[in-house]
């Protein structure tokens, strides 16, 4: 049974931890507002870009002149998995959920006889995957020194991926990230970016006909690389909001748990102190009776 000094030290230690977790929760709440606004403001542009590219891709169809980014390399033997996580921890299952999905996809592809390569964006994803998949990781993007992720960061990542695709290093590329739903919910998402894949949208079902100049093929050659960068940028924004939401929730839970632990330790401290006082009184009374 711990003595009173040990219990008192533990209570002070937990109180100091609670101060830290409370401060981190408040910082995450402040960052979450900006990150959530950035993610929500970026969604309309990404959705509109997806709709335009989807319409163009539908009009081009499977023609021989279709860009390689749309038609693919003609094979799906080599897959590139781009795992996008955070640079820091203490955010609950945010990083682990992304890594878990990417690991499951890699195992599924390998079981099917496919070749898998990886690019990690964020230190936490690299640290969790390097032991098992370090040999197939071909690049790592470090964003730890970036105060606020911008389109330039997404463009740099996209340029690296597109360059590798042009040289024939892979056939299919998929990005993994968390979609921000609310503070308590972040959905792990896998999205294929090469060859370009477009979701059906209401805009694609209307009867409006557009004439493009100089032509769909030429426009797609310019827009498809920009579309890849846009999808990566949207994923980075979603990840940023998801990370702060997950950290805010995790630190709130940690603060509550610290409070419960302090209450339990305080009760134990008071009981131990009362037991010591009672024993001392018994000894005094017993000594007085013996005299």
Q: What amino acid positions are annotated as catalytic residues?
A: 91
Distances (CA, A) of 246 to 8, 131, 183, 207, 263: 32, 25, 7, 42, 26
Alpha helices in 145-215 (DSSP H): 151-166
Q: Do residues 194 and 229 touch, judged by C-beta distance below 8 A?
A: no
Give the Cβ contact number of residue 285 at 10 Å: 10
Query: What whole-number distance in Å separates Cα of residue 67 and Cα of residue 287?
Result: 99
List all residues 6 or more positions away from 204 whose beta carbon is below 8 Å from its beta carbon. 51, 54, 55, 58
Q: What's the start-to-end Cα distance of the chain, in Å?
A: 33
Secondary structure (3-state) at 228: helix
């Amino acid at each position: 049974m711990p003595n009173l000094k040990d219990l008192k030290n533990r209570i002070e230690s937990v109180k100091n931890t609670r101060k830290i977790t409370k401060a981190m929760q408040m910082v995450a709440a402040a960052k979450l507002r900006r990150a959530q606004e950035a993610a929500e403001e970026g969604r309309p542009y990404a959705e509109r870009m997806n709709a335009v590219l989807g319409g163009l891709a539908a009009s081009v169809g499977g023609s021989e002149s279709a860009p390689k980014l749309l038609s693919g390399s003609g094979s799906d033997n080599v897959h590139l998995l781009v795992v996008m996580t955070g640079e820091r921890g203490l955010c609950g299952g945010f990083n682990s959920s992304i890594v878990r999905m990417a690991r499951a996809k890699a195992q599924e592809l390998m079981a099917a006889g496919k070749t898998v390569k990886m690019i990690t964006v964020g230190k936490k994803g690299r640290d969790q995957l390097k032991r098992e998949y370090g040999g197939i990781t071909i690049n790592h993007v470090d964003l730890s020194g970036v105060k606020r992720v911008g389109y330039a960061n997404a463009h740099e990542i996209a340029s690296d991926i597109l360059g590798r695709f042009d040289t024939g290093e892979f056939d299919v590329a998929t990005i993994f990230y968390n979609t921000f739903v609310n503070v308590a919910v972040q959905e792990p998402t896998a999205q294929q970016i090469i060859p370009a894949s477009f979701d059906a949208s209401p805009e694609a079902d209307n009867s409006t006909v557009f004439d493009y100049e100089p032509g769909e093929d030429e426009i797609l050659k310019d827009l498809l690389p920009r579309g890849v960068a846009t999808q990566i940028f949207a994923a980075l924004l979603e990840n940023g909001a998801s990370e702060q939401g997950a950290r805010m929730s995790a630190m709130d839970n940690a603060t509550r748990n610290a409070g419960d632990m302090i209450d339990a330790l305080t009760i134990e401290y008071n009981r131990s102190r009362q037991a010591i006082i009672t024993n001392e009184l018994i000894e005094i009374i017993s000594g007085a009776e013996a005299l």
